[in-house]
Structure 1
Amino acid sequence: MSGKAIVETTQFLTFTLEKEVFAVDIARVREVLEFTSVTKVPRTPDFMSGVINLRGSVVPVVDLRIKFGMQAAGKTVDTCIIIIEIENAGEKTVLGALADSVKEVMSLEPEHIENAPKLGTNLRTEFIRGMGKEGNTFIIILDTDRVFSAEELSSMHDGSDESSSAA
């Protein structure tokens, strides 16, 4: 597992994408919003849904389905935006993560969390902190600081400078 091992009971916010259950450390979650209109920003990566106005601040919204190589889905009454604080290169950034639905806040004991699977060199798993188990269900615990690289964050904020010359 890359990143820090989980050595104490930790609370996670669980959410779904397709039929999979994911989790993020509750300490990184600022709030959960009902889906609202998202303003599309030209020349941003495909996984960038756009931006929302969060109490006067512009917050980028990322479609995690597309980011993780899943098929895009239509919005439902359960679709929500999870506002997450991430840290990259010592700088804190707030972004919204589009999820199919939020499940619950749950505690996971360290003995119920295994290392991220090693599935070969072509599959990127460095953004997975671990695999939680609840009964027969696996919960993919995300390392929110690694889900987005520094390059991706700068392209979301800067409008991707290299693509502006290709017009």
Structure 2
Amino acid sequence: MSLQVTRSDVSTTWNGQDEMSVLTFNLNGETFAIEAMTVQEILDLLPETRVPGAKAYLGGVVNFRGKVIPLADIRLAFGMEAGAASIDSRIIVVQLDIDGEPCLVGIRTDKVYEVTTLSRAASEAPPSVGMRWRADFIDCLVKRNGEFVIVPNLKTIFASH
């Protein structure tokens, strides 16, 4: 049985396509995915400079190719505990349009998995009850190999802070 998703914000996630190429990664044991087209680079952890008075989840900056970019720990936006860096930790540099301006942001992850394709037919809107995270921070959940992959709404997460 395949679920048909009619929620409008989920439809815009797919940009009218039936499949989306994504980069999958891990945060606190959960699998997340972001559209591969937004990914600029995947980096080993870099020296981070803390920014006094900044929001906890956007509390630092890193030097990316001579540019200072914010480094986000979106675990904190989702109410998860900050994780300790490990040998598998990486920074995914993405380009997002925030308030009409292109913006580079680094996202700290526990592990990067792969570039893969997700199917729109396997996607669902996040449930409106029973979620431990803000539903507007999630574009959709996609069932893959018996598990759910979380597609976060990065624009909403960064615009809200």
Instruction: Give SS of 1:107's match.
Output: strand
Rate the CA distance shift 1:135–1:31 in 2: closer, same or farther, 3 A.
same
CA deviations 1:93-122 (Å, max 9, x no partner) are 111011111011110121111122212799
Contact 2:79–2:133 (CA<8 Å) still a contact in 1?
no
Q: Which residue of 1 aligns with 2:64?
A: 54
Rate the CA distance shift 1:121–1:57 in 2: closer, same or farther, 3 A.
same
Residue 29 of structure 2, aligned match among 10, 15, 19: 19
Structure 2: how far apart are the matches of 1:131 and 1:2? 14
Instruction: Give SS of 2:50's match.
Output: coil
Structure 2: how far apart are the matches of 1:52 and 1:123? 27
Would you identify which runs of 4 or more consecutive aligned residues in structure 1 move more than 3 Å?
120-123
Rate the CA distance shift 1:49–1:116 in 2: closer, same or farther, 3 A.
same
Deviation at 1:149, TM superposition (A): 1.5
Rate the CA distance shift 1:22–1:57 in 2: closer, same or farther, 3 A.
same
Amino acid at match of 2:9: G
Rate the CA distance shift 1:105–1:71 in 2: closer, same or farther, 3 A.
same
Q: TM-score, normalised by structure 1?
A: 0.83
Q: How many residues align?
A: 151
Structure 1: how far apart are the matches of 2:9 and 2:97? 13
Q: Which residue of 2 aligns with 1:3?
A: 9
Q: Is the aligned partner of 1:81 residue 2:91?
A: yes
CA RMSD, 1 decimal: 1.9
What 5-or-longer segments of structure 2 have no aligned partner?
A: 1-6
Map 1:1-167 to 2 at 5 A.
Answer: 1=7, 3-5=9-11, 6=14, 7-119=17-129, 124-149=134-159, 152=161
Report % sequence identity: 32
What 5-or-longer segments of structure 1 have no aligned partner?
A: 153-167
Instruction: Give SS of 2:54's match.
Output: coil
Contact 1:16–1:101 (CA<8 Å) still a contact in 2?
yes
Structure 2: how far apart are the matches of 1:123 and 1:80? 23
Instruction: Give SS of 2:148's match.
Output: strand
Deviation at 1:46, TM superposition (A): 1.0
